[in-house]
Amino acid sequence: MSSIPGRGAKLLANRHKKILSPGHEKIIIGAIGMVLEAPNNLEVDMYSPAFPSINTVTAAVPGTCGELVQGFVDGQDFLVTFPIDLFAKAHASSVLSRGVMLRQNSQYEKVARTLEQISTIQSGQVGVDISIESALPREKGFASSSAEMAAAAHAYSLIMGNAILPAQLDLILTSIEPTDGVYYPGICSTDFIRGGLIRRYGAPPPIGVIIVDTGGRIATHGVDRAAMRNNCSAFRAQFQEALSALNDGFLTQDPRLIGRAATLSAEINQHVYAKPFFSKLTRLIGTDGIVGINCAHSGTLLGVMFDESTACPDYIEAKVIDIVGSRHIFGIHRMIGGGVRYELSAANDVTGRTHPRQRVCYA
């Protein structure tokens, strides 16, 4: 694998100490996903051995149905994540030879670049064999690359016996391309260009979504960022209304307010990346538990959002099919919290036996 120059590895090397906890016990818990934050006056080496006995691990990161809100306000690029119950998975196992081997290398060039950067910081006495399994289509708005890169980074780190937190991933992933912060727990606002957590919104209320693929493809590197920023500035008041509704929606756990925020952001985006069916779909809002229409702001997706506590998904899907046709329906899914899910097996240091597989959630 050739060396890829970029700020991610250099920044990662300069900032490899992160606030965690004073003891290995809590680092171990953090490595498998149970600790999100720690007291702000405690610091240890981010790459201290955390769980050195892991033999195999599967790390899963959710994809998205576009974003709840995305824009540019006061010089700040941001997006608010919309994780769904579709995942990219990285399967990793330790091998005797050192270094990292990524199977399907040619299909996952961005994953290869991620592993190259992280392996310059983390290394050990074993090698890592990694393969990717993804249910996320490319160039649509499912955050496929972000999920795949994050899953691979977590899987590699655990085999190396290390913990890695979302802030660390930001430095690597945004040095490769604009990145959806879907690896942050819960629903979050992040700077998808430079990296960084802006705001945590917490867990979502019960919201489902009928995903509509309007057709075509939009590659991340082909997005006109200048046009999107100018468009956001032209609709500043509408953006503020969207953010206000979003804040209130999460505070009160009201799907209607969250849907309102998403619809406003999607309406603004129509002036840059117009999607067919959007206007017709918005007429469904307020009927049968439908709360809003969101979009992939630099993709091809629309999402018909509904309150899971009151709506009948199959009935809503039938109404959407009447508008867009069945071939544009990707499926019925639900909003979930972001973060990394793990399935791992670890050898007991004393007996050498392998622990049963377990599932834990970084969320």
Q: Where are the beta strands (DSSP E) in the chain?
A: 17-19, 43-45, 54-73, 76-95, 99-102, 127-134, 187-190, 197-202, 207-213, 290-295, 301-307, 329-334, 340-346, 358-362
Cα torsion 171, 176, 179, 185: sign: negative
Q: Which two tokens stand for residue 178?
A: 């604009």
Mean pLDDT of 111-123: 89
Tally of domains in the chain: 2
Task: Kindly state whether residues 229 and 303 are assigned to the same domain.
Answer: yes
Q: Which two tokens stand for residue 20?
A: 């965690």
Task: Kindly state whether residues 47 and 17 are assigned to the same domain.
Answer: yes
User: Does residue 1 register a pLDDT over 60?
Assistant: no
Give yes or no for a contact between 79 and 295, defined as CB atoms under 8 angstroms apart. no
Task: Kindly state whether residues 154 and 233 are assigned to the same domain.
Answer: no
Give yes or no for a contact between 239 and 71, defined as CB atoms under 8 angstroms apart. yes
Question: What does the pLDDT read at residue 278?
Answer: 98
Question: Is residue 285 in some structural domain?
Answer: yes
Give yes or no for a contact between 127 and 152, defined as CB atoms under 8 angstroms apart. no
User: Does residue 3 register a pLDDT over 50?
Assistant: no
Instruction: Find all residues with CB under 8 Å of 2, minimum gap 6, and list them.
Output: none
Question: Is residue 2 in some structural domain?
Answer: no
Q: Which two tokens stand for residue 309?
A: 């506590």
Cα torsion 32, 33, 34, 36: sign: positive
Give yes or no for a contact between 249 and 294, defined as CB atoms under 8 angstroms apart. no
User: Does residue 316 register a pLDDT over 50?
Assistant: yes
Mean pLDDT of 246-264: 98
User: Does residue 274 register a pLDDT over 60?
Assistant: yes
Question: Is residue 1 in some structural domain?
Answer: no
3 state DSSP class of 326: helix
User: When comparing pLDDT for 29 and 349, which is higher?
Assistant: 349
Domain of 80: which CATH number?
3.30.230.10
Task: Kindly state whether residues 50 and 186 are assigned to the same domain.
Answer: yes
User: Does residue 305 register a pLDDT over 50?
Assistant: yes
Q: Which two tokens stand for residue 362?
A: 């970084």
Task: Kindly state whether residues 59 and 157 are assigned to the same domain.
Answer: yes
Give yes or no for a contact between 296 and 200, defined as CB atoms under 8 angstroms apart. no
Point out the least confidently predicted range of 33-42, 108-117, 198-207, 353-362.
Answer: 33-42
Task: Kindly state whether residues 299 and 216 are assigned to the same domain.
Answer: yes
Task: Kindly state whether residues 220 and 122 are assigned to the same domain.
Answer: no
Give yes or no for a contact between 56 and 303, defined as CB atoms under 8 angstroms apart. no
Q: For residue 149, what pLDDT band results from cuts at 50, 70 and 90?
A: very high
Rounded to whole angstroms, the Cα distance separating 303 from 240 reads 21
At 170-182, the pLDDT tens digits run 999 999 999 999 9
Task: Kindly state whether residues 346 and 232 are assigned to the same domain.
Answer: no
Question: Is residue 59 in some structural domain?
Answer: yes
Point out the least confidently predicted range of 69-83, 100-114, 336-350.
Answer: 336-350
Mean pLDDT of 62-83: 95
Domain of 252: which CATH number?
3.30.70.890
Task: Kindly state whether residues 168 and 221 are assigned to the same domain.
Answer: no
Task: Kindly state whether residues 71 and 37 are assigned to the same domain.
Answer: yes
This prediction has a pTM of 0.82
Residue-range definition of the domain harbouring residue 211: 205-334
